[in-house]
Amino acid sequence: HIGFHICPQNIISFYRLIQSFPAVKLHLTGAVMRATEVEFDKAKEHLKTLKNDPGNDTKLRIYALFKQATQGSCSSPKPGMLDFVNKAKWEAWNSLGNISKEDARQKYVDLVGTLISSEAPIQKEATTAGDPKSSYQTLQVTTENNITTILLNRPEKKNAISRKMYEEIMQALEQAGKDDSVLTVMTGSGDYYCSGNDLSNFTQVGAEGVEKLARDSGELLTRYVSHFIDFPKPLIAVVNGPAVGIAVTGLGLFDVVYATDRATFHAPFSQLGQSPEGCSSYTFPKMMGTAKANEILLFNKKLTAAQACDLGLVTEVFPDNTFQQEVWKKLRAYAKLPKDSLRYSKQLIRGMEKEKLHAVNAQECVRLQERWLSEECMNAIMSFFQNKSKL
């Protein structure tokens, strides 16, 4: 039995403790509450269930309290200057001075309780975002094992990107950029990764005419591509099937691209009377050389996954029957790497090119606004909807 003074801070800790350990009975005697050895053991077990790394300072504090609670005050000699880890541990333990084992035990239980309960709202948020009933209509967004996954979810339209989906992808990227996950993954539901721009976006002409539609589409596309240029942490494409148009060109802005051997990569811009976007007029020639890029961006060459990998557009190709299993195993391992180190490394690599990419994006969108008003483009879209032309 140890002293636990009822002050506002301790009352908060007390409630957190109750929330975290519903099965634990706390012994209250008047104004004094005492943590038992059973509670201490339970806290040890609960600590193992922490999902997020609490950081080095907190880990050192936990270590020190544990040592003090089990062995009493620190009496071992201070480790040498170069023994960084043991020196830091020793200093943390030594800093507790002469506090009693019981006090340390209570502080340990409090600290673990606070850590566990501070994770509760984060997990709830992630579950809500992943709930199919969440606010997204065209996506499913989930966070698990430090990975936020943005699933394009219009399988009946081969995940074609409608206006709503453009907006929702931007929203999901903004959220993923800020959340606690280490990696962000984009993938598709059903047999396609994505069939590119939803061609019906071009048929929704309002009262203000096609010029306004082209201007709005240009503005939407500029914002959309900018979200990929500026995305702050590693972004991975899990290409689960064929990819078309902007779903191919945008891959140059991902950090890693994994593809099933069933995937194909097709950017049929001239066939559609359009021109390249997603910064591909810059990233593709840079990545694969101008001669190879031109076959894809000018002459509509459809690539197999193996060809895309040889050209540097895809990082690795997996057999379709083991694709999901192999890729997710790899990603789960990557997601255990230090979050900030990954984020800053990605930003360094991207930082070299950011300005250039924004300039390319702006130019591509200006050209596309002109293309969308061209007869070549209008004929191609009419032809698709009259079922005369499929890719």
Ligand X SMILES: CCC/C=C/C(=O)SCCNC(=O)CCNC(=O)[C@H](O)C(C)(C)COP(=O)([O-])OP(=O)([O-])OC[C@H]1O[C@@H](n2cnc3c(N)ncnc32)[C@H](O)[C@@H]1OP(=O)([O-])[O-]
Q: How far is the CB of 55 from ligand X (least distance, A)?
A: 42
Of 234 and 245, the one with the shorter C-beta distance to ligand X is 245
Tell me the C-alpha distance between 24 and 39, whole Å.
7
Q: How far is the CB of 374 from ligand X (least distance, A)?
A: 13
Q: How far is the CB of 365 from ligand X (least distance, A)?
A: 8
Give me the residues that bind ligand X (CB under 6 A), please: 157-158, 160, 195-200, 217, 221, 244-246, 272, 274, 277, 384, 390-391
The edge-to-edge listing of strands for the beta sheet with 243-244 is: 243-244, 264-266, 303-304
Residue 34, helix vs strand vs coil: strand
Element at 211 (helix H, strand E): helix 209-229
Tokens 């007869």, located at residue: 375
Task: List strand residue ranges (DSSP E) for the chain, in order.
Answer: 27-29, 32-34, 139-144, 147-152, 183-188, 235-239, 243-244, 256-260, 264-266, 303-304, 316-318
Of 106 and 226, the one with the shorter C-beta distance to ligand X is 226
Of 129 and 244, the one with the shorter C-beta distance to ligand X is 244
Q: How far is the CB of 353 from ligand X (least distance, A)?
A: 21
Of 143 and 249, the one with the shorter C-beta distance to ligand X is 249
Of 234 and 276, the one with the shorter C-beta distance to ligand X is 276
Under the phi-then-psi rule, with left for phi > 0, alpha for psi from -120 to 50, and beta for the rest, what region is 162? Answer: beta
Q: How far is the CB of 52 from ligand X (least distance, A)?
A: 38
Residue 137, helix vs strand vs coil: coil
Residue 148, helix vs strand vs coil: strand
Q: How far is the CB of 293 from ligand X (least distance, A)?
A: 17
- Give the nearest residue (CB) to ligand X: 245
Of 142 and 274, the one with the shorter C-beta distance to ligand X is 274
